[in-house]
């Protein structure tokens, strides 16, 4: 696009910083979402106290991995839809801050889980935080471009 086009302006340093932080935030979100397949098997083997080398242990781990993938995706999707309403009701900045707070604390608490159920709940709250943050944060570049 030609920089002399009507309505085009150069971004300020603050606007570039906002875009950089948004990109960095989305990179961390993606990292967090992609970690579940890597941590699920060893974490569930320990929490369920099963041997993954046995058929029954492997079946239990696969069952709980399915619960985590399915449950977190559904809860994230539902709350992602609700996130639009939340931003309208409470404001984009407030929802963004609280969703990042939820997204930051859930994996921290998951590190101290003592049961598969608790890990499932905390993985779901992690996805809820990430999906609501996506909804609240995706409008920031649009605001800058005005």
Q: What is the structure's pLDDT at 5? A: 59
Q: What is the structure's pLDDT at 90? A: 93
φ, ψ dihedrals at 4, nearest 5°? -95, 10
The Cα 84–Cα 76 span in angstroms is 13
Domain ranges of the chain: 13-144
Do 79 and 131 touch, CB atoms closer than 8 A? yes
Which stretches in the chain have pLDDT values below 50?
1
Q: What is the structure's pLDDT at 126? A: 92
pLDDT tens-digit series, residues 15-41: 888 778 878 878 887 887 788 888 899
């Amino acid at each position: 696009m030609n920089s002399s086009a009507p309505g085009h302006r150069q971004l300020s340093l603050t606007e570039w910083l906002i875009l950089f932080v948004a990109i960095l935030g989305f990179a961390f979100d993606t990292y967090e979402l992609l970690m579940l397949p890597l941590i699920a098997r060893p974490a569930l083997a320990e929490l369920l106290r099963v041997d993954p080398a046995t058929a029954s242990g492997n079946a239990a781990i696969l069952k709980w991995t399915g619960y985590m993938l399915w449950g977190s995706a559904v809860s994230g999707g539902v709350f992602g839809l609700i996130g639009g309403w939340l931003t309208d009701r409470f404001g984009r900045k407030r929802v963004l801050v609280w969703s990042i707070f939820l997204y930051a604390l859930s994996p921290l608490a998951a590190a101290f889980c003592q049961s598969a159920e608790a890990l499932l709940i905390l993985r779901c709250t992690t996805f809820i935080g990430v999906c609501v943050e996506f909804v609240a944060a995706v409008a920031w570049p649009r605001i800058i471009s005005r």
